[in-house]
Structure 1
Amino acid sequence: MNKRLSFVYTYYECLQKANRFNKNLVVRYKTTYPERKNYTEKWDFWDSHVSHIYLSNIASLYGKIDYNVVPTNIYYSYIEPTLNNIPFVTSLEDKSQLDWLYTQHAPMVLLRNIHGNFYINGDSVNNNQVDISGVLENVPKVVVKQAVESHGGRNIQVFERKGSVYYNKKGNSLTLDYLLSNFRSNFVVQEYVRQHPFFAQFNPSSLNTLRVMTYRSVVDNQIRVLNVTLRVGAPGSIVDNRKFGGYAIGVTPSGYLRDFGVNNKGGVAKVFNGVKLNELKRIVGIDDIEQVAIESAKIHYHASVLGFDMSYTDDNKVKIIEVNTWDLGIDNIQQANGALFHQYTDEVIEFCKKRV
């Protein structure tokens, strides 16, 4: 039975995106016929549409061929919906549940709206009983974001207290009417996470998070960290997503940043806000971050691959900003850190082959 998922990332959309990336690369690796043949033979049992552009793009960045690089359309059409039971795991992305699922490691939620209903400390309250100033209790800074279907950093707003009123950068005040008119339903008002200086140094305006991808092995059921990628926002931006001008920087297995970051247009940078990547020490808190990701992934029995967006705070605590259970942004990961599944590629292929 063909389990191909009808997904937004069609073959042609993935290909166009990869080609745009390739055109902006300063150095392009030209694959040979034997290399292209080997790549096709590894991946074409699912789909005859296997483009070599993915192989070429990663080889251009790393200077070597790696046949484990996953074709983007193959991943989204076949692998992800096979490894993850999408109907089951999608609800676990709901940010209004983060502090219920990961009590010690989630930002504090001050106010949540779930399906049009308001909740404070888990208790339901009527709209006319929501007192914004009372809920916030004079906290200096808060973040408001959609709780569901918010991939890519869409509609995230930061409000800072000035006197007794909270304002965003556009000068809008945080009121109940503003929340209902701009976010409507399914949103959270949560504490602002103050990141550790190590992460703030790359761009102080954005919360620069680590995308930690975990993998529950289809062979031994053990959870491992597959990839870690630091996302750095564009100057002045409050979000770290590449969609809004940010960069992705790979993290080595030993916990150091790679010496370059890449944006979604194929641009490569080695210096951020005056910080040279090749001069940095080991990432602060990386061991704790990876351990929290592994422990948190254990409750997700219906998902073999997860993408945790995590922060390390200025008081040395790990925070889970969100959990991604589908559309994990593998272009970001592979371009910043090489092949997605590394040494586990073949076991993933064999597992998914039997279920196509």
Structure 2
Amino acid sequence: MRFNLRANMLDEFFRARIGPKVTAPLWVAHQLENTANVYLPRYRRTAERKPISRIGFELAALAAQWRCLPFHYFRYELYRTGVDLAAAATYVPDTVFYSRLLPAVNRSVLLLDDKIACKRILGDAGVPQPLLLMTGEQGSWFDRTGRPVPADSPTALDSALGGIAEVVIKPARHTSGGAGVLVLANEGGELLQQDGAPFSLTAYGEKWGGWLIEAFVRQHDELAAFNPHSLNTFRVITHLHPVHGPRVLYCLFKSSTGTDAVDNACNGGLYVRVDTATGAVDGSAHTTALTRYTRHPVSGLAFADQKISTIRRVVEVAERAAVHFPRTPVIGWDIAVDHDAEALIVEGNSSPSLMNLQRTHGGLAHTLGRSLITDHRRS
């Protein structure tokens, strides 16, 4: 017993303390690439920017404050004339968030980041989510009850899928940004891609490893009005307090900017702030390429005119889900709303996108940052 406890503590130590140091060179290279390809070109195109002497002074001040290279100065366009140093100081650098605070606070993340494990936990707790139909691992297929499904039997596959005509397959682990997520047609156990080409579960498993298939969500008309091509979802950030329980900190609405089936920002999608009390949508949406939209590029809907009528249900289901992961207090939930206005947990993320939050809500040093620092000290 003592050995197992020590082994678990050692595993958490390496994940929270050693892992970020080992991956630091890759993280710096990633930020340098983004700065060179996206952020500096935007800086050069911006007319209303501070004098170079002022920018240099603020870069030095932020580097000293956060003890890291201040890539975030360009990431969040803090060089603009309307942003003073006090406001710039409230923006948390990604290095601090992902390498220092979040790994020290969020533990047992595999229960959340393994999509199959997460769905099982939430399913046992009765939290609404898209219906799980099948899982697969290393060439073995299973129905939702865990019974094997013969790989050479379309009839057995169709039975496992419940005869549902449209399904979604996604990798179970180690992906982000909607990578590997596909909408498939099921024609009597024959799976087809959107272009009509046959789909191979075996080839998919060889590429992505473990996978799961769930029923396609027919989204609420209110959300489909933004973009009918993608499943438009909400990213809801919850913080689980050990005494006061879960609370929602932030909510974003996400949508594809084209005809892609996924709405992820990493895939070119947009994101816009939603007021969790009223459901009012902010007037300006953003992308990771620093593009701003006041209207949805597909439907033309003006964001400032929209209000989400189901926002209370979105908030409530996020809070219901958060309590089942007590060792992972900060979670980014992706939540869909189906045709019947029921909010469904699509998945949870132990590493929610800081850029999306700070682009829509401003600097988070005094809100989410403070909560993480408090949690870190408490642990």
Normalised to the residue count of structure 1, the TM-score between the two structures is 0.84
Q: Match for 2:258 among 235, 256, 269?
A: 235
Partner of 1:7: 23
Contact 1:117–1:124 (8 Å) recurs in 2: no
Q: How does 1:33-112 map to 2 (within 5 A)?
A: 39-40=62-63, 42-44=65-67, 47=68, 49-51=69-71, 53=73, 56-57=76-77, 65-85=87-107, 88-103=108-123, 104-112=127-135
What is the rounded CA distance, in whole Å, between the counterparts of 1:52 and 1:245 in structure 2? 20
1:245 counterpart letter in structure 2 = G
Partner of 2:198: 173
Q: How does 1:110-129 map to 2 (within 5 A)?
A: 110-114=133-137, 116-125=139-148, 127-128=150-151
Contact 2:158–2:186 (8 Å) recurs in 1: no
Q: Match for 2:321 among 288, 296, 311?
A: 296
What is the rounded CA distance, in whole Å, between the counterparts of 1:154 and 1:3 in structure 2? 28
Q: How does 1:176-215 map to 2 (within 5 A)?
A: 178-184=200-206, 185-215=209-239
- Of 100-109 and 200-209, the range deviating more from structure 2: 100-109
Contact 1:57–1:335 (8 Å) recurs in 2: no
Partner of 1:143: 168
Gaps in structure 2 of 5+ consecutive residues: 1-12
**Residues 150 and 70 from structure 1, CA distance in 2 versus in 1: closer, same or farther, beyond 3 angstroms?**
same
Q: Match for 1:277 among 303, 309, 313?
A: 303
- Of 100-109 and 54-63, the range deviating more from structure 2: 54-63
Contact 1:29–1:63 (8 Å) recurs in 2: no
Structure richer in helix, relative to its length: 2
Alignment size in residue pairs = 344
Q: Match for 2:361 among 337, 340, 344?
A: 337
What is the rounded CA distance, in whole Å, between the counterparts of 2:118 and 2:17 in structure 1? 31
Summarize deviations over 1:147-194 as a string: whole Å, max 9, x none.
1112111111112356875422232234xxx10112333111110011
What is the rounded CA distance, in whole Å, between the counterparts of 2:216 and 2:60 in structure 1? 50
**Residues 140 and 173 from structure 1, CA distance in 2 versus in 1: closer, same or farther, beyond 3 angstroms?**
same
**Residues 354 and 287 from structure 1, CA distance in 2 versus in 1: closer, same or farther, beyond 3 angstroms?**
closer
What is the rounded CA distance, in whole Å, between the counterparts of 1:129 and 1:61 in structure 2? 64
- 1:13 is paired with a residue whose SS is helix
**Residues 78 and 155 from structure 1, CA distance in 2 versus in 1: closer, same or farther, beyond 3 angstroms?**
same
Partner of 1:153: 178
Identity %: 21
- Of 21-30 and 120-129, the range deviating more from structure 2: 21-30
- 1:271 is paired with a residue whose SS is coil
Contact 1:14–1:72 (8 Å) recurs in 2: no
Contact 1:29–1:57 (8 Å) recurs in 2: no
TM-superposed CA distance for 1:204, in Å, is 0.9
What is the rounded CA distance, in whole Å, between the counterparts of 1:164 and 1:216 in structure 2? 42
Partner of 2:159: 134
What is the rounded CA distance, in whole Å, between the counterparts of 2:210 and 2:353 in structure 1? 23
Pick 1 or 2: higher relative contact order, CA cutoff 8 A, min separation 6: 1
What is the rounded CA distance, in whole Å, between the counterparts of 1:350 and 1:14 in structure 2? 27
What is the rounded CA distance, in whole Å, between the counterparts of 1:61 and 1:353 in structure 2? 36
Partner of 2:8: none
Summarize deviations over 1:196-219 as a string: whole Å, max 9, x none.
11211221111111111112348x
Contact 2:280–2:308 (8 Å) recurs in 1: yes
Summarize deviations over 1:255-283 as a string: whole Å, max 9, x none.
32111111111111111121001111x21
TM-superposed CA distance for 1:59, in Å, is 7.5
Gaps in structure 1 of 5+ consecutive residues: none
Q: Match for 2:292 among 268, 271, 276?
A: 268
Contact 1:96–1:114 (8 Å) recurs in 2: no
Contact 2:150–2:157 (8 Å) recurs in 1: no
**Residues 30 and 227 from structure 1, CA distance in 2 versus in 1: closer, same or farther, beyond 3 angstroms?**
farther
Summarize deviations over 1:306-326 as a string: whole Å, max 9, x none.
111111111011111111113
Q: Over the residues paired in the alignment, what is the CA RMSD in angstroms?
A: 3.1
